[in-house]
Amino acid sequence: MPAQRIALVTGAARGLGQEFAVALAGAGHPVAGLDIADMSPTRERIEAAGGSFLGLLADVTDEDAVQRAVNATAARFGGLHIVVNNAGIYPPIEFEKTTLADWQRVMRLNLDGPFLVTRAALPHLRAAGWGRVVNIVSAVVFLGPPELVAYTTSKAGLVGFTRALATAVGSDGVTVNAIAPGLLATETAEATTGAGGGFARVRALQAVPRTGRPDDLISTLLYVCAEGSGFLTGQTINVDGGSARH
């Protein structure tokens, strides 16, 4: 039997991050969640099913807070093996109305956050001789929607991060992959994209004619984190109902 694998999920308070944390716990992994929001609902779901969860209030763009959270995870559970970089923002802003502050905010959370979390976690993965880093990107990197220039750029950067880091750590038994979701019916999407008819526009592009749900990503997450997926690395797996065919 393989050793117990410890997982860390950023943005675990709600939406896709909560579903990822619950799914990993359901697969038998003790899970730590990082977020700036209350993670009680995530904890309740995991503990009700008999799993172990550690909620850590931390801003993924705060270097010291990230390091403390990673250290606390390793101390609580005895190590760290799986990192899911899920936290991110996607404000729809016309390009010419995007301020430098807007641009930097998107890059800081969507790129600096995964960098800081992964850098802090990597010594633990290397020490274990086994690791899975999973970066949540977006199908927009293949589609280039005009109102999401900053977001698309940040997620394309995260694809590059995935590829280069996979090369850097492959000999340590650590894989690095990205999952690119399409538009999903999360609370945030319902309040933004969905409110303007975005779900219908995206469905019209898809081969599968329904709106995606957070649980549509679970099987892919568990696949890239599995014991038997050690030969899969540097890849971006698109899960968007077939809106981007590449």
Query: What does DSSP say about strands 82-85 and 53-57: parallel, antiparallel, or unpaired?
Result: unpaired
Q: In whole angstroms, what separates CA 232 from the centre of its chain?
A: 17
Candidates 20, 16, 84, 80; CA nearest to 46 is 20
Helix 15-26 with 218-225: angle, nearest 10 deg: 50
In angstroms, what CA-CA distances link 121 with 14, 76, 89, 179, 220?
22, 14, 22, 19, 22
Q: Which two tokens stand for residue 104?
A: 């930097």
Contact (Cβ atoms closer than 8 angstroms) between residue 28 and residue 49? no
Which residue of the set 53, 151, 161, 199 is catalytic? 151
Q: Which residues contact 147 (CB under 8 A, 6 or more apart)?
A: 92, 93, 94
CB 233 within 8 A of CB 177: yes
Nearest CA to 30 among 1, 60, 4?
Answer: 4
Q: Token digits for 66?
A: 């990230």
Q: Are 237 and 175 in contact (CB under 8 A)?
A: no
Mark whether 90 is an active-site residue: no
Give the catalytic positions in this structure.
151
